[in-house]
Amino acid sequence: MREIGIVASLITGALILLVRDWRVVLLALLGQYVAVGLILSQMTPPEIALIKVLVGALICLMLYLAARQSGWNVLAELDANRPSFSKDAAGIHDLLSWTGLAFRALTLCLVFILTTVFTRDYPLLGTPPVIGLTCYWLMLIGLVVLMLTDQPLLAGPGLLTALTGFELLYTLLESSLVIVFLLAAMNLLLTASISYLVAVQGRNLG
């Protein structure tokens, strides 16, 4: 089960970087929480893994509802190449024009190289190397996503991915339920902020 979770974490992290469809990104984020739950279920008490998965599902639901209720459809319009963009949407298109699929694929390869180098040269104490690789992978992927987009519905999952990598490491070192609940509360507050930004931008660009 742990190996399945590790592979799923690598795949979902890659999808969050490569894909621009926000629905796919949210599904990948949900799969990521499930994957991390599988890893934790083999290394921590099962209730901790269950809490992580349930909080992750709630986070994805909050982001989905915020996007749907605010009519967030900027990316769909960009993909369809509609000529009637607003000025804000046109600016977003200019910003994203240099971050096409080929660029993101190359970036993904560089992130993987950095991950393997960090895992080899700076191993995370108290964790197996393969878990350390997963933590580095999620944190680096999340940071790269934040650098490549200013859209809250895409940048938000990037930030949450980086936090998931950090939480995976920290939970393995300190598996107290109090810490787990505090991290869960922090994630939910952060998601509420992201949802607000998603709703505001969706109404402005809708």
pLDDT digits (tens, 9 = 90+) for 107-146: 999 999 999 999 999 998 878 899 999 999 999 999 999 9
Provide the 10 A C-beta neighbour count for residue 135. Answer: 25
The C-alpha atoms of residue 184 and residue 131 are separated, in whole angstroms, by 21
pLDDT digits (tens, 9 = 90+) for 37-50: 999 998 888 899 99
pLDDT exceeding 90 applies to what percent of the chain?
A: 59
The reported pTM is: 0.86
